[in-house]
Structure 1
Amino acid sequence: MSPDPTERVRSAAAERGLSIDIQERPAASSLIEAAGLLGLDPSEIIKTLVVKRSDDTYLFALIPGDRAISWPKLRAVVGVNKLKFPDADSALAATGYERGTIVPIGSHTAWPIFADERIVGRRIALGAGAHGYSLFVDADDLISAYGATVADISVESSGA
């Protein structure tokens, strides 16, 4: 495994024929700050949330930065009664990425992806596997390359 997580992301994207652009950016302490540094609206930055199922498997939920996960909606789409966020160490073990850098591309395990319908048709920014980097990709290409399930899985949020 490459010591540079962004190289793992690039390699995994290339294996799936997915065109991505990884850009270095100054460190940001929040999604709002990262959006400002990149000249983006917070809705254009997508949070990759690692979600744990009761059987100790995981999934990714892709949520626009100006919205929050809707647990009832996500449980209905996944078809389960219980989902939760894992602790930081479990998320790292499940994906190989630290919180704040998580991206489904190049994850240690190709967990299922559930993408909020609001990202369809947009160019989006995501974590890039390492702090101080952002990944840009066409959402439709990401959805197609990973066979993601698209659904309404978010709610309005008063903050990112």
Structure 2
Amino acid sequence: MVGKLDWEPAAGRTDLLADPVAAAIGGVPDAEAAAIDPELADTAAFCERYDVPLEASANCVVVAAKRGGEVTYAACMVLATDRADVNGVVRKHLGARKVSFAPMDQATSLTGMEYGGITPVGLPAGWPVLVDEAVAAAPRVVIGSGLRRSKVLLPGKALAGLPGAEVIALAQ
């Protein structure tokens, strides 16, 4: 197990998952969920309190890509030790003129998830999910659950297998 948490099969703990995550989690092999203090949902505080190494935790950022007046959204997954190259790799990969982090209110309303808990599991259909190579290669990685009060643990390869997922060199 990873960290000082009581991990349980996620499919049996949908009470710990945002609705869109609960609806999609059955298709994610070996996913587990654990309750946490919602005040400790942010990565650094979470990792310190629950003894989870930063390299075993991955962050999901939602970006808004703009080109020719159209806006498309995508999720980017990088290890907590890294940062997504949004203005370089992500912008070029999405074929956008400009890419920025999606505003909090848009990210939460579009995903049906809480800010600080957004995860690539259960995102709207058609969204690209850009997964950094290091995340995809991780044996187990902790991600958000869609809620600030819990986390999900799964194999990195499960993230690479999500609908719309593409594994690329994403980290700076």
| TM-score, normalised by the number of residues in structure 2 | 0.79
Structure 2: which 5+ runs fail to align? 1-13
Alignment RMSD: 2.1
With over 3 angstroms needed to count, the CA separation of the structure-2 counterparts of 1:26 and 1:149, relative to structure 1, is same
Q: Which residue of 2 aligns with 1:86?
A: 102
Q: How does 1:56-135 map to 2 (within 5 A)?
A: 56-70=71-85, 71-122=87-138, 123-135=140-152
Q: Which residue of 2 aligns with 1:48?
A: 60
Aligned-partner Cα distance in 1 for 2:76–2:57: 13
| Identity, % of aligned positions | 20
Deviation at 1:109, TM superposition (A): 4.0
SS in 1 for 2:161: helix
Structure 1: which 5+ runs fail to align? 156-160
Query: What count of residue pairs does the alignment treat as equivalent?
Result: 153
Deviation at 1:69, TM superposition (A): 1.6
SS in 1 for 2:23: helix
| TM-score, normalised by the number of residues in structure 1 | 0.84
- Conserved? CA contact 1:102–1:128, under 8 Å: yes
Deviation at 1:118, TM superposition (A): 1.2
With over 3 angstroms needed to count, the CA separation of the structure-2 counterparts of 1:4 and 1:22, relative to structure 1, is closer
Aligned-partner Cα distance in 2 for 1:129–1:72: 27
